[in-house]
Amino acid sequence: MNCRCMCQIVSVMFLLLVLIVQPWAQTSNWSTVQQLRPGTPISVKVRFRLQCNFRHADDQQLVCDERTQGRFLRPPIVLARAHIHEVRIERADASAVAGAAIGAGTGAAVGATSGNGTLTRGGSTLLGAGIGGLIGGVFGKQFPFLHGEVVYQKP
């Protein structure tokens, strides 16, 4: 394969990556935020980015719940609309699947190359893939890295 063909392939791959990652529908319409379904995973940018599950919004504020499960009797998070710079839908489930796939691949590679004397190479690969997939899935769910569309951006 010559250099020119390789450059074209790399250019097309880069273009596809940019198009996939680019959020499609960016808007400054607050009514879009108000119409979100309760429980939708979102991230809200104030002075920092906060991840939570949408509860409801009115003309003055947005109310959401902390994403971490197992924390009972936590009060909801109330954010004044005037302080919100951006609201984005998070794709936590897609991030969990992608994290599991990345973790499984990494775990399989580590398992296949480790010199474990108690398991065969295939067993080490399988065990590494399972552990890596589990860790990657949990990590992807708690820290979404595949972002959805921006539904509100402060004008």
> Is 42 a residue whose pLDDT tops 70?
yes
CATH assignment at residue 38: 2.30.30
100 with 81, same domain: the answer is no
Mean pLDDT computed over 5-26: 40
Categorize the per-residue pLDDT at 118 as very low, low, confident or very high, splitting at 50, 70 and 90. Answer: low
Domain that includes residue 49, residue range? 21-91+147-153
Q: What are phi and psi of 90, to 5 degrees?
A: -100, 145
Mean pLDDT computed over 94-106: 88
> Is 17 a residue whose pLDDT tops 70?
no
27 with 86, same domain: the answer is yes
> Is 54 a residue whose pLDDT tops 90?
yes
27 with 70, same domain: the answer is yes
71 with 126, same domain: the answer is no
Q: Which two tokens stand for residue 3?
A: 């250099």
Highest mean pLDDT of the ranges 37-51, 92-106, 127-141? 37-51
101 with 125, same domain: the answer is yes
Residue 81 included in any domain: yes
Residue 73 included in any domain: yes
Domain count for the chain, please give it. Answer: 2
> Is 56 a residue whose pLDDT tops 90?
yes
Handedness of CA 26, 31, 35, 38 (dihedral sign): positive
Locate all alpha helices (DSSP H) within the chain, ordered by sequence.
Answer: 3-21, 30-34, 92-113, 121-142
